[in-house]
Structure 1
Amino acid sequence: MKTAKIGDVIVTIDDGSGDAAPAAKAETPAATKTEAPASEAAETPAATSAQPTGTPAAGNPNKRVLAMPSVRQYARDKDIDITLVTPTGAHGQITKQDIDNYTVRQRQRVLNRQLRQRQRLRLQVKHQHQHQLNHMFLTHLN
């Protein structure tokens, strides 16, 4: 596997006009953009070592997570597995807002689950009540 250095041309795309020089110039910003994943990879070992080893993670412990230390601490304080949070920050970085959004979504899931359970219980009670009424009616007729 080869490693690209900053400023290296990685790909040249021919637009069919035969002028390759502008394509090389257009590729320079793309090469600069590849710098971000390299820095993400450099931050990944720190990301996995920042997680407590005594607590089992519900998410993928090998998943690369890009987040500032303060955001990681914020997630730990809220007992959130940061590998489950969807990042919206620059270069796939998790922000405090992402943590808050995850918390809201989780709360909504719990409330929806409780609502479904209550609805099932109401239906069960309704069916039991209907069965009792039918039984009483049939008993009264006999």
Structure 2
Amino acid sequence: MKRVLFLCTGNYYRSRYAEELFNHLASGERLAWRAFSRGAAERGSPDNVGPISGFADERLRATGIIPAGAARYPQPCSLADFGDADLVIALKEAEHRPLIERRFPEAAGRVTYWHVDDIDFALPSVALAMIDDRVRELVSALR
């Protein structure tokens, strides 16, 4: 089984949504891929309440996806996570590249960057729709 690692800053909103959506779609397509997600920052934001963003959870459930990891609290990335991944995707280059290059210089060259803004720059309806599109494109490319 191959693995894709999705990274956002705190592993609370964007990366968790991408992980759950990818796993749902990959399972439906019977792909030999599964996703996991982590936070590029050493610590999550104190503003994050609960294990997963309500915006991510609500959108997943509205589309019939019951998030398997909804009870898991955010986890920061470790160097070992890069070793466990066949593909690494960070959700926002301008935000995540500096974090990854500082914390994991030896793995920074393996990261593919998307351009999905966090909640302070894009409404969840916009950001999550962008993730929908990118994850669907990825699943299609892995078929």
Q: TM-score, normalised by structure 2?
A: 0.27
Q: Say which structure is richer in strand.
A: 2
Larger Rg: 1
